[in-house]
Structure 1
Amino acid sequence: MRRLAVAALLLPLLAAGCGDDKDAYCGAVEDHQQKLSETLGDGSPDALLKALGIFQDLADESPADIQDEWQQVIRSLEGLQQALEDAGVDPATYDRAHPPAGLTADEKRKIDAAAADVGSGATLQALSDLDQQARDVCHTPLTV
């Protein structure tokens, strides 16, 4: 009986906390929607990397049930960013078919592997799931 009473007292607090998480996340989605749309829609080859900061902000505000999806996206983008940085390559101008002079085979392999991770089914599915979740829960897509 005592456990039931404690649970009855805690339930409103837990529910309020969940609502706050959702509200904070949905607010972040709305706050970042226009900039994310502009960043991803600019057509630049490094658009996803430019959006990394926005994705990190959204992940920080996201509820626990979508943390894994955000981590998949962020981990893969950070991996690509690191591979390009380690190779001293500008992501905006990198062309796999015509790599810059001085790029070693190992650096190219690491960039290719990181790019493949960004384009992997797991990362693309995570992005799709995150957009669907924003539509379902926040009633707004990640981008316009």
Structure 2
Amino acid sequence: MTSRRTGRRTRRRVAGALAGVVLGPGLLAACSGDPVEEYCAEVEDQRQPLSDVADAGGPTALLEALPAFEELQGASPTDLRDDWDVVVGRLTALDDALAQAGVDPATYDAEEQADDLGEDDRTAVESAARQLATPEMVRALEAVQQQARDVCGTSLTL
């Protein structure tokens, strides 16, 4: 003789199994709220736009990638958030410094035009640009690329 409690547990397990079969694993995964799955979906969404920016190359490639990086930062799991904060924060600082100085990143040449800027603007732009070449920035870029390859199975061209 089965108790009522055992009967309810059995019905719940059967209902759960049927929901899995009826709804399908894709729908259940989409509803699971798994941060890694959500991040990997965003990595896949941003892969082509980042590849296009990288293929175009040029000195403004990282700034042109900033919107994609912001999307990835927003979707990133907590263990990767610090790295994305470094990448997005430093690129945003440079973008802001250039905008404040009234400089078009696509045409700005620091060697020829730096003297045309006011001292505060020149210092801000130069400081922000130097922050893109620090070991911390390089490590953060490498970490987000490694995570995309290892966890998501997708290469990001940065």
- The answer to which structure has the higher helix fraction is 2
Query: What residue is the counterpart of 1:135 in the other structure?
Result: 149
Q: Distance in 1 between matches of 2:133 and 2:114?
A: 22
Matched, 1:95 2:104: no
**Aligned partner letter, 1:24:** E
SS in structure 2 opposite 1:97?
helix
Larger RCO (CA under 8 A, 6+ residues apart) = 1
Match of 1:52 among 62, 66, 79: 66
Residue number in structure 1 paired with 2:78: 64
The answer to whether the 8 Å contact 2:69/2:88 transfers is: yes
Unaligned runs of 5+ in 1: 1-15
* Residues 1-144 of structure 1 mapped to structure 2, 5 A cutoff: 20-99=34-113, 102-143=116-157
Instruction: Provide the C-alpha distance between the structure 2 equivalents of 1:101 and 1:18, rounded to a whole number of angstroms.
Output: 55
Provide the rounded CA distance (Å) in 1 between the counterparts of 2:58 and 2:68.
16
Where in structure 2 are there 5+ consecutive unaligned residues?
1-28
**TM-score (ref. length: structure 1):** 0.83
Greater than 3 Å deviation, 4+ residue runs: 16-19
Residues 45 and 93, structure 1, Cα contact 8 Å, conserved in 2: no
Larger Rg: 2
Say if 2:35 and 2:75, in contact at 8 Å, map to a contact too.
Answer: yes
Aligned-pair CA distance for 1:44? 2.1
Say whether the 8 Å CA contact 2:114–2:122 is kept in structure 1. Answer: no
Contact 1:80 1:114 (C-alpha < 8 Å) held by counterparts? yes
Shift of 1:107: 1.3
Deviation per CA, 1:53-103, whole angstroms, max 9, x where unpaired? 100101111100000000000110010001100100000111111016741
How much identity, in percent, do the aligned residues show? Answer: 43
Q: TM-score, normalised by structure 2?
A: 0.76
Tell me how far 1:41 sits from its aligned partner. 2.4
- 8 Å contact from structure 2 (residues 83, 143) kept in 1: yes
> Aligned Cα RMSD in Å?
2.0
Paired amino acid for 1:93? T
Number of residue equivalences = 129
